[in-house]
Amino acid sequence: MASHAPELDKDGVRLTVDADIATVTLTNPDKRNAQSPALWRALAEAGRLLPGNVRVVVLRAEGKSFSAGLDRQAFTPEGFEGEPSFIDLARGSEADLDATIAEYQEAFTWWRRTDLVTIAAVQGHAIGAGFQLALSCDLRVVADDVQFAMKETSLGLVPDLTGTQPLVALVGYARALEICATGRFVHAEEAERTGLANLAVPRDELDGAAKDLAAALVQAPRNAVIETKALLQKAAVPGSLDEQRATERAAQGRRLRDLIGLGE
């Protein structure tokens, strides 16, 4: 969206800044923006690199899909080069596994900062980790071809990248459970109707709609927006995000160990 030189451009993530609006773009369309630990570290770095004047961050993706979720290479015995495989993680200590997942979660956490308003512009598939990344943002603008799905449970895992809390807050416990347990697709009409999406637009209008929303969000005084966001965050969710992150990590540790036969 912005034409300025990138502040960051590595491992499938590009960060550009235009005055008080930043854009984070997923840049691996050939792999449908599949996610990896390297991408998660780049996303976390993008958050750290944001200049202090930035008020709104737009998260978008190149290609037909926002993100097809975790790269399938993660499920192979060798995993990613230079990274511990899921099997290695499951066989390690509980403390090491918890610390590793906590590091992964950092890519999904900073979007909730009260000094920012974040918008996910989502097209095509947003599966698993892709769905959770969209859920990390405050607002979602979706294309009419969007397909959200939480596939972790179908794979014997749990959503552990901070997506459980916002999903329940947005659509309610019963619908969130049904979406996660069945792994079914949620399309644009349902997403908008249930509050999962703030706005659904034709695919070729997605970037423009996100840009217009970002421009509208910087019109109010910054401190008033910051205070309002903090109030609404507290009102919406009874438990803390840190508590939920820890709960997700513990559950995923149990699932990984069970999947490789190390469960109790």
pTM attached to this predicted model: 0.90
Share of the chain above pLDDT 90, in %: 76
Provide the 8-state DSSP code for 30: G
pLDDT in tens, 103-126: 999 999 999 999 999 999 999 999
Domains parsed from the chain with CATH numbers: 8-205+221-259 (3.90.226.10)
Q: 57: which strand partners? A: 22, 118
CA–CA dist 81, 35 (Å, integer): 14
pLDDT in tens, 24-43: 999 999 999 999 999 999 99
End-to-end Cα distance, the chain: 50
